[in-house]
Chain A
Amino acid sequence: MKNMLWLGMILLLLSASCKDKDSHGQVDINFKSTFDATPLVMFSQIYPYYDNLNLKFQLFHMYLSDVVLIPDDATGSTTTPHTEIALISFKDVLDQSAALQGITISANKIPVGKYKAVRFGLGVAPRFNATNPGNYTPPHPLDDHYWSAMLGYVFMKIEGNSDNDGDGQFTDKLTFHIGDNSLYRTMEFPVALEVKEGQTATVNFGVDLRRVLAVGPDDFLDPRTVTQDHTSNPDLYNYLYNNLEQAVKIKQ
């Protein structure tokens, strides 16, 4: 009788652990970058810009912090954590195929159920920004891109070239390295997401680099006069970072 009780308890525990294992699914959050409507490809692709200028790029990255999913039945501040900190870097997007694939951050322990929104911080959250690469073992999103003179991380980097004189040579340099606690902001996007047991659900985002550099044809960063910023010029870095916020869109 005693043995039967033990057996019953073991079976109960096993069934509970199996249930727990099966009650999760994976959520992929994918980012694709474009320049206007054209997929963003580093080095090779030429992008028409305003005023008949052409641009090329070598690097575009941004950080996300505290990525969470908000359950459909959430009350108050109930959220499901997805990723604490992520570097969304398009540095190695060197062809169309990689551009169409985009950059994905995954979490595979998301409880099954319906979710109504995705929320994240655009940039490095202040508690992470108070750390430095010495706090991390590579590979880690925060093992690089730390600017010690500013005591913080570079939230967004854009590096590329411009052909200002139209000779077909992209000899004019563009480097924008932006990061500061004051720029950090939270963004929330409504979704209709259902996570099923053992399955992967995907949320797709787009980020338009042209929108980061420009509001429109009458309001754009002019590479003939502005070629860099190291978070030194508040007007400029606020302009770029506010634009980044507008450039990030969810794709249903």
Chain B
Amino acid sequence: MWQKMRERGREGERERFFWVLIIMLWSCNDSKLSHIPYVPTPYKLEEPANFVKMQIPPDNPFTVEGIALGERLFFDPILSIDRSISCSSCHIPNLAFTDGKAVSTGIDKRVGRRSAMSLINVGYYYKGLFWDGRVKSLEMQALMPVTDHREMGNDWKTVEDRLRRHPEYPELFRRAFGIKRAANIDRYLAAKALAQYERTLVNYNSKFDRVQRGEARFTAAEKRGWQIFFDDTLELPASECGHCHIDPLFTTLGFFNNGIEQINTLNDFHDKGRGVVTGRFVDNGKFRTPTLRNIMLTAPYMHDGRFATLDEVFDHYISGGHFADNLNPNVRKLRIREQDKKDLIAFLQTLTDSTFVNYSALDRHGSI
């Protein structure tokens, strides 16, 4: 009997020890943060007058602290399962937040499905995000690459745990969102911070913008290219570019089949794009019109990066594209000659903006 009691006592001790350990671990993971001041600094984004107004969710207003946290997360490989890649691995600032590859690669060199989209002016993308527009807000979008097995291959529970135990992130989350304990860090706050940072990636200081504001003038070639781009006069050939790449964003944000894939029926698209999202047959093979801002920095082109150069892109559009029942009628055979191409490229070069080369939101918005 005494033996049994002793054994039970040992079991009880073990149980007590176990619970003490759990509590200790929990407290390590959940240190109180209330000693750190929570005084968020409101931030007013400078928006160009000719852009549609940016939609900022009422529950995620800009703060200097939120933007700084978002930038830190954006460049931190802590989000990926093996800590090898960050958002910035595929969205490199000096490539206008693209990666220079046909399709992106994730952890373990896993090959992605589509090309990394530029994040320039992504805060204005009110018709949905990604090439197929499958999510409506940056807050929702930011949740997805972490768990995509071709991208970061992680799960948010692991990420949350890493952030809660991190020596610096609990304070940064506290300053940005006023959390009381490290355990209050969650995926939704991380996504909010990332969204705040991404909304600051506003681009409106290209030569084109300066011309629009009367601060610069096009050269003759640039002006001719602009006229061809926007089908400005019957005296010059029309390139039909402006219908989908309308300024100031140089995209309507719409989804179109631009005829890059040869198919017999709309079911034949290798990647059905928008059709998967809407479930509509006529949306198969449609993809978002990408911005042409910084187009000189964002090769290769198209959702699958099939065109390495702008010359290849021009050749495609001059040909009128492959026919399909949902081919955008604005994609039609063009009478564009070599000089017209050169002038179009001269114009497209005016869309380059060096704002984001070596860009730091911290420099721009102040450090916390």
- List residues of chain A with CB under 8 Å of any chain B CB: 42-44, 56, 58, 94, 132-134, 136-139, 143-144, 146-149, 159-161, 169-171, 173-175, 177, 227-228, 230, 232-233
Contacts and interface: CB of A to CB of B under 8 A. Distances in A.
Contacts, number: 77
Contacts of B240: 175
Contacts of A160: 329
A169 B227 CA distance: 32
Contacts of B330: 159, 173, 175
B329 A232 contact: no
Contacts of B247: 148
Interface in B1-36: none
B325 A43 contact: yes
Interface string B71-98: 0000000000000000000000000000
Interface residues of B, number: 33
B199 to A, nearest CB: 14
Nearest to B233: A232
Contacts of A44: 282
A227 B331 CA distance: 12
Given A147-B246, A160-B329, 17 more contacts: A43-B326, A94-B280, A134-B50, A136-B53, A137-B55, A138-B53, A138-B55, A143-B126, A144-B252, A147-B242, A148-B247, A149-B230, A159-B330, A161-B329, A170-B325, A175-B330, A227-B332
A58 B331 CA distance: 13
A140 to B, nearest CB: 8
Contact of A149 (B48, B232, B325, B329): B232
B111 to A, nearest CB: 33
Nearest to B54: A137
Given A58-B326, A232-B231, A136 B52 contact: yes
Most buried by A among B52, B238, B326: B52
Interface string B262-282: 000000000000000000101
Contacts of A147: 230, 242, 246
A175 B242 contact: no
B173 to A, nearest CB: 30
Nearest to B247: A148
17 contacts: A43-B325, A56-B325, A134-B52, A136-B53, A143-B126, A147-B230, A148-B230, A148-B246, A148-B247, A148-B248, A149-B230, A173-B330, A173-B331, A175-B329, A177-B243, A230-B238, A233-B234
A55 to B, nearest CB: 11
A149 B242 contact: yes
A43 B283 CA distance: 10
Nearest to A42: B282
A133 to B, nearest CB: 5
A201 B240 CA distance: 43
A232 B246 contact: no
Nearest to A176: B329
A173 B326 contact: no
A47 B49 CA distance: 43
Contacts of B232: 149
Nearest to B254: A144
A143 B329 contact: no
A230 B126 CA distance: 26
B323 A134 contact: no
A173 B232 CA distance: 19
Contacts of A169: 323
A248 B99 CA distance: 50
Nearest to B56: A137
B43 interface: no
B359 interface: no
B264 to A, nearest CB: 11
A29 B197 CA distance: 43
B246 A138 contact: no
A244 to B, nearest CB: 19
A143 B52 contact: yes
B188 interface: no
A173 B329 contact: yes
Contacts of A132: 50
A232 B238 CA distance: 11
Nearest to A161: B329
B126 A139 contact: yes
A58 B234 contact: no
